Amino acid sequence: METLLVERDAGVVTVTMNRPEKKNAANGTMFEELLEIFIEIERTDTDRCLLLTGSGGNFCTGADLTSGDGPMMDLTRPGVVRMRRLHDVAMALHNLNKPAVAKVDGMAVGAGLSFALGCDLIVATERARFSMIFAKRGLTPDMGASWLLPRQIGMARAKELTYSGELLHARAALGMGLINELHSVDEIDDAADSLARRLASGPTVALGLAKSLLNNAFTATMAQALEDESRAQAINFNSPDTAEAITAFLERRDPKFEGR
């Protein structure tokens, strides 16, 4: 791929946004390639966890506002059509039926922060910085940020970050629950890889179903949640991994999940 580096190992797919000269700002090509790889991971049984990161000491500084094929400068299509192209990427990440981890070093701002929020867990370095920078560009949140951010940190904090557009330091982000883990720059690679490998070795079907249930938690009624849980458990009952977990419990050993 032109803008991404993709590596696979032990069920973990590491996707690195790779435009370091632009601090990994996403041009049209990157959005298209992210959509392609997210769909590919969804459909590949041996892919069991996504680890999304950036190269060159930054995660992603949002959409590239100078790129001719980016959402701001591409005047060949109406604005709504241009944005739907981006939002297809956000939905593909959100709907990924496997765990997704964001490894953030440096800047994660604008759509870059949206990418991180679109993952299930965020691990970051002490020098990571986060910003809903849209207001400073005369824009409103996109890539699902207006939906994701309040669910992560609450409405009051979400409005504060959105209205100000100010940079949030990693330790403050940890304190408000925006990120899950904070590590030194020297430790982040091992920590993120270890987390992704643990998730990749888990019961992939059950984790994907649990992810769907939790994603719907704030919009479903209790009755709907119970019905959705019933359907999820019915699927689990027929899963080889569930059978393996029960056998392992009876045999007093750790289960060996195959992602089925």
Q: What are the tens digits of pLDDT across the range 106-134?
A: 999 999 999 999 999 999 999 999 999 99
User: What's the whole-number mean pLDDT along residues 81-93?
Assistant: 87
Contact partners, residue 187, CB within 8 Å, separation at least 6: none
Side by side, the strands of the sheet bearing 100-104 are 4-9, 12-17, 49-54, 100-104, 121-125, 181-183
Q: Which residue in 190, 187, 152 sits closest to 168, CA to CA? A: 152
Question: Distance (Å, rounded) from C-alpha 123 to C-alpha 189?
Answer: 10
User: What's the whole-number mean pLDDT along residues 176-189?
Assistant: 97
Q: What is the pTM (predicted TM-score) of this model? A: 0.94
For residue 138, the domain's CATH number is: 3.90.226.10
Tell me how crowded residue 191 is: count the other CB atoms within 10 A of its CB: 16
Residues 246 and 164 in one domain: no
Residues 223 and 131 in one domain: no
User: Does some domain include residue 258?
Assistant: no
Residues 220 and 124 in one domain: no
Residues 182 and 225 in one domain: no
Residues 162 and 219 in one domain: no
Side by side, the strands of the sheet bearing 107-109 are 107-109, 129-131, 168-169
**Domain range for residue 111?**
4-200
- State residue 86's pLDDT score: 85
For 92-111, the pLDDT digits (tens) are 999 999 999 999 999 999 99
Q: Find the angle CA(230)-CA(220)-CA(149) to the nearest 5 degrees.
A: 125
User: What's the whole-number mean pLDDT along residues 200-217?
Assistant: 96
For 43-84, the pLDDT digits (tens) are 999 999 999 999 999 999 999 988 766 666 666 766 677 778
User: Does some domain include residue 182?
Assistant: yes
Residues 64 and 102 in one domain: yes
Question: Distance (Å, rounded) from C-alpha 112 to C-alpha 114?
Answer: 5
- State residue 80's pLDDT score: 77
Residues 161 and 243 in one domain: no
User: What's the whole-number mean pLDDT along residues 238-249?
Assistant: 95
User: What's the whole-number mean pLDDT along residues 80-90?
Assistant: 84
- Inter-residue contact 168 to 128 (CB < 8 Å): no
- State residue 240's pLDDT score: 96
- Inter-residue contact 38 to 88 (CB < 8 Å): no
User: What's the whole-number mean pLDDT along residues 214-227?
Assistant: 95
User: What's the whole-number mean pLDDT along residues 220-244?
Assistant: 96
Question: Distance (Å, rounded) from C-alpha 207 to C-alpha 83?
Answer: 30
Tokens of 82: 């241009």
